[in-house]
Amino acid sequence: MYNLKVVIIGAGIGGLTTGIAMQQAGYQVEIYDRATELRPAGAGISLWSNGVKVLNRLGLGEKLAAIGGEMNAMEYRSHTDERLSYVDLKPLFERVGQRPYPVSRTDLQTMLLEAFGPEKVHLGMCCVAAEQDQHSATAIFENGDRKTADLVVGADGIHSAVRAHVLNHRVERRYANYVNWNGLVKADPALCRNDLWVIYVGDNKRASMMPVGGDRFYYFFGAPMEAGTQVAPSHRQGELEKIFQGWPEPVQQLIQTLDPEDTNRLEIGDLDPLERLVRGRIALLGDSAHATTPTLGQGGCQAIEDAEVLTRYLVTTNLSVEDALKRYEAIRKERTSKLVLKARKRTSTIYGYHPEVTQQWYEDLKQESPEAVINALAKVILAGPMG
Ligand SMILES: Cc1cc2nc3c(=O)[nH]c(=O)nc-3n(C[C@H](O)[C@H](O)[C@H](O)COP(=O)(O)OP(=O)(O)OC[C@H]3O[C@@H](n4cnc5c(N)ncnc54)[C@H](O)[C@@H]3O)c2cc1C
């Protein structure tokens, strides 16, 4: 289809990537976000090769490589500092044709925003509802504004407002019973080798570091916790000291090095797979469609894949917008539902929902062959829209 006008709600990874792809297709795109200042939630993100391939196609490969960390291997260690597994990732790159890039979220957002055009991102615009008729779709904002286009894309995250219109009912986030702390620190060989992703596991918790561009490590911790706990930034270092007391030296050093004021603390949740992702001329995309726990590192990559597939159907078919959206849904619902459920299962294993299963997993890590790990990663990557 030609000359489409598109309104996107949400300027996160999903909304911005969709904006770039649709703009490159010659469509007229405007993005609206409720934030008054765009600040990514979280410090880093690992873009696996399936996400990277889409960004390559959008002409962003070189820029992404410049902000990405060089992650050549991954290692699991126990909380008593025993090496459980070590996987050289180069065979994975050869299998799938592209390395992954861990990046700082601020760098990624800046890159995407510049590629889309910041002047077409309208801030302070909180979408409260959506409606449509046979010829157009409209986003309605808290301030009374209405923006009408050929289609509306709801890329407005896990608490999406557009989703209520698509589903005809509200869906709430499901708490995954653990808290994640994350941030960035200066790379230091005393913490981790600078081309390694290290993950310490034990006692149903984990602590991890991976390299991102700018000679930094993205770090994260995870530990089971009841819902509703809050800890002020100034107390987060002390909280981590207590939870990870007695863990190996690099973990202790990481806790002493990090800036507690710049340490994010998030209760992690996901959504049950939705019964539909589109209604007529309105499509859900990214976390609004399939928010997942981050234990496969695929949430953002799936938002990027969504952007590619949705744009591709609009460009390559010409029956109607509704028809293209249906085709998008048919492809994306299955892939993303499977990944949400797979990540959920992995979350339960990592965070001790059944402690005996978690204990067994620690044992299994020692036995798992690097080939099996590469195969599992390659399977997810190669099932993406770019193969
Ligand atoms: C701790 C953690 C680690 C993760 N690690 C990885 C990883 O390594 N790899 C990976 O691929 N993924 C990872 N993810 C998942 C990834 O962060 C998300 O899947 C991704 O950010 C989703 O992008 P999005 O654009 O769909 O939504 P969001 O990033 O949530 O963006 C939504 C945007 O919509 C705006 N908005 C919300 N409501 C409204 C409204 N009513 N009106 C207007 N605007 C609105 C918001 O302000 C926001 O800008 C991780 C997630 C977490 C929590």
Question: Ligand 1 centroid vs 297 CA: distance in angstroms?
Answer: 12
Does residue 285 contact residue 18 with C-beta atoms inside 8 Å? yes
Q: How far is CA 242 from the centre of its chain?
A: 28
Q: For ligand 1, atom 9, which residue shows the shortest CA distance?
A: 297
Pocket test for ligand 1, best of 103, 142, 287 (most atoms within 8 A of CB): 287
User: Does the pLDDT value for residue 41 go beyond 80?
Assistant: no
Asked whether 157 lines ligand 1 (CB < 6 A), one says yes
C-beta of 294 in contact with ligand 1 (< 6 A) = yes
**5-173+270-382 has which fold?**
FAD/NAD(P)-binding domain (3.50.50)
How many angstroms separate the CA atoms of 290 and 19, rounded?
19
What is the distance in A from the centroid of ligand 1 to the CA of 293?
11
Share of the chain above pLDDT 70, in %: 100
Distance, in Å, from the CA atom of 250 to the CA atom of 83, rounded to the nearest integer, reads: 14
- In whole angstroms, what is the distance from residue 77 CA to residue 96 CA? 26
Is any atom of ligand 1 closer than 6 Å to the C-beta of 250? no
- pTM here? 0.98
Q: Please choose from 9, 45, 290 the residue to mutate so as to test ligand 1's pocket, defined by most ligand atoms within 8 A of CB.
A: 45
What is the Cα 174 distance to its own chain's centre? 17
**Ligand 1 neighbourhood includes 147 CB (under 6 angstroms):** no
List the domain boundaries for the chain: 5-173+270-382
Mean pLDDT rounded to a whole number for the chain: 97
328-332: long-range contacts at Cβ-Cβ below 8 A with a sequence spacing of 24 or more?
328/277, 328/278, 328/283, 329/276, 329/277, 329/278, 329/283, 331/385, 332/277, 332/289, 332/290, 332/305, 332/306
Sheet holding 151-154, edge to edge: 121-122, 28-32, 5-9, 151-154, 282-284, 278-279
CA–CA separation, 94 vs 74, rounded Å?
16
Q: Is the CB of 15 under 6 A from ligand 1?
A: yes
Report which protein residue has its CA nearest ligand 1's atom 11. 300
Question: Could you report the per-residue pLDDT of 333-383, keeping only the tens digit for each?
Answer: 999 999 999 999 999 999 999 999 999 999 999 999 999 999 999 999 999
For a mutational test of ligand 1's pocket, the pick from 30, 31, 33, i.e. the residue with the most ligand atoms closer than 8 A to its C-beta, is 33
Pair 262, 184: CB distance under 8 Å: yes
Determine the average pLDDT of the residues in 189-212. 98
215-225 per-position pLDDT tens digit:
999 999 999 99
Instruction: Report DSSP letters for 129-147, one per residue.
Output: EEEE-SS-EEEEETTS-EE
The mean pLDDT value for 179-189 works out to 98
Q: How far is the CA of 290 from the centre of ligand 1 (A)?
A: 11
Distance 300 CA to ligand 1 centre (A): 7
Question: Can you spell out the DSSP letters for 317-348?
Answer: --S-HHHHHHHHHHHHHHHHHHHHHHHHHHHH
Task: Please state the atom number of ligand 1 nearest to the C-alpha of residue 289.
Answer: 26
For 290-320, b/e burial (b = at least 16 CB within 10 A) is: bbbbbbbbbbbbbbbbbbbbbbbbbbeeeee
Give tens-digit pLDDT for 46-103.
999 999 999 999 999 999 999 999 999 999 999 999 999 999 999 999 999 999 999 9
The pLDDT score that the predictor gives to residue 247 is 98
Which helix or strand (DSSP H or E) is residue 153 part of?
strand 151-154
Angle at Cα 164 formed by Cα 160 and Cα 166, nearest 5°? Answer: 105
Please state the atom number of ligand 1 nearest to the C-alpha of residue 14. 25
The DSSP symbol for 233 reads: G
Query: For residue 10, how far is its CA from the centre of ligand 1 (angstroms)?
Result: 9
How high is the pLDDT of residue 40? 78
User: How many whole angstroms from 366 Cα to the centroid of ligand 1?
Assistant: 34
Cα–Cα distances in Å, from 257 out to 184, 212, 252, 253, 341?
Answer: 10, 17, 9, 6, 35
What pLDDT sits at residue 73?
Answer: 98
CA dist 118 and 116 (Å) reads 7
CA distance 324 to 338: 22
Q: Which pLDDT score is estimated for 39?
A: 83
Helix axes 13-24, 299-316, angle to 10 degrees: 20
The 10s digit of each residue's pLDDT in 267-316 is 999 999 999 999 999 999 999 999 999 999 999 999 999 999 999 999 99
Mean pLDDT, residues 163-189 taken together: 97
Which atom of ligand 1 lies closest to the CA of 285?
Answer: 26
Query: Cα 189 from chain centroid?
Result: 27
327 vs 40, more confident: 327
Best probe residue, ligand 1, of 17, 18, 32, 34 (max atoms within 8 Å of C-beta): 34
